[in-house]
Amino acid sequence: MSTFKRAYKSTFQSLIKYPALLVPFIIFAAFELLALAIIYLAPRMPLRALLGPPIKTFFGEIYLHYPYNFLQLANLQNLSRMFLTVCIGSALSATVTAIVYDIYNKKAPALTRSLKTAFKKYIYLFLTILIVAFLLQLATKLVNKGFIWYFKSWHSWLDPLHICINFLLAIFIQSAFIFTIPLIIIGNEKLIGSMLKSIRLYLKLLIPTTALVAIPMLLYIPIIILRNNTQYLINAFFPESIVLLGILAIAVASLVIDPIVTISTTYLYLLKKEGLLAKTQENKK
């Protein structure tokens, strides 16, 4: 059986046998829902007093008025998700990695113990996700500037191409650093060493790693398309439909995609590590 199939098989077996694996993702989804509620209520007092000035400064005062506030809701939700991923998601992903490591070694998984393991290395985890988020934002901005420079003016037919390129960038950047957290938690690597080793490991496992990251992310494509047609949704249905889309985005991303990607790539790392250990032992003999 290929490492790809073994990683996926182990992922779904673990999720069925140990539902507690989903607890960190449910916690993160709860924070996302809270952030979405705050964004939704931002144009109203008392939140308007706190969030109104930055929204007015960066986006424009019009987005503090109904129904225009819904036009920026998806963008603000993406920013809040990025912030939460760096501050909270990094530790929660590491917690899941530690639980998977226990399951792989046939130990009884313990959420509290795994949380402690993650928080001991929180600074490395925080900086890792911060760097990856920065690289994603930088890549997206370079693509945007490249489009404007090359095509001179924006045309509607460019939207699908723009979405595809940004989607592929997200897959490849995430894939390149996907082993960083397992290397920190399981391999006891430092920050820079773990990131460099993650890239090297990704190049060795290019196809299975990319597939494990990309396949679940395909579920998010309909949401990306709908979010790029916010004005149509508001006109065709009602402005509050954007909030429902935001809730759906949280459910798909945080409760489906993130668990599958995190757990399956951790298993892929462990399978590769096991293979390397087996070779080392054979060489010693």
- Between 158-176 and 206-217, two packed helices, what is the crossing angle to 10 degrees? 130
Q: Where are the domains of the chain?
A: 9-278
Over residues 95-99, the mean pLDDT reads 95
Nearest-angstrom CA–CA distance, 52 and 37: 15
Over residues 91-106, the mean pLDDT reads 93
Nearest-angstrom CA–CA distance, 262 and 212: 9
Nearest-angstrom CA–CA distance, 264 and 208: 10
pLDDT greater than 50 at residue 11: yes
pLDDT greater than 80 at residue 252: yes
Better-scored residue on pLDDT, 107 or 283 = 107
pLDDT band at 159 (very low <50, low <70, confident <90, very high): confident
Instruction: Report whether 21 contacts 14 (CB < 8 A).
Output: yes
Task: Give alpha helix (H) positions in 47-157.
Answer: 47-58, 73-84, 90-104, 111-120, 122-151
Residue 51: per-residue pLDDT: 81
Nearest CA to 162 out of 150, 173, 174 is that of: 150
pLDDT band at 282 (very low <50, low <70, confident <90, very high): very low
Residue 42: per-residue pLDDT: 84
CA 51 from centre of chain: 25
Phi then psi for residue 160, to 5 deg, are -60, -40
- The 3-state DSSP class for residue 133 equals helix
pLDDT greater than 50 at residue 28: yes
Instruction: Report whether 195 contacts 180 (CB < 8 A).
Output: yes
pLDDT greater than 60 at residue 280: no
Q: What would the pLDDT profile of 184-234 be if each residue is shown by its tens digit?
A: 999 989 999 999 999 999 999 999 999 999 999 999 999 998 888 888 888
* Intra-chain end-to-end CA distance of the chain, in Å: 26
CA 50 from centre of chain: 28
Question: Lowest-confidence range among 70-74, 215-219, 245-249, 273-277?
Answer: 273-277
Nearest-angstrom CA–CA distance, 281 and 124: 31
Over residues 226-245, the mean pLDDT reads 86
pLDDT greater than 70 at residue 277: no
Nearest-angstrom CA–CA distance, 103 and 17: 10
Sequence-distant (6+) residues with CB within 8 A of 227 are: 74, 245, 249
Question: Lowest-confidence range among 127-141, 171-185, 235-249?
Answer: 235-249
Sequence-distant (6+) residues with CB within 8 A of 11 are: 260, 263, 264, 267
Over residues 61-86, the mean pLDDT reads 87
Residue 156: per-residue pLDDT: 66
Instruction: Report whether 43 contacts 69 (CB < 8 A).
Output: yes
Question: Lowest-confidence range among 71-85, 131-145, 148-162, 173-187?
Answer: 148-162
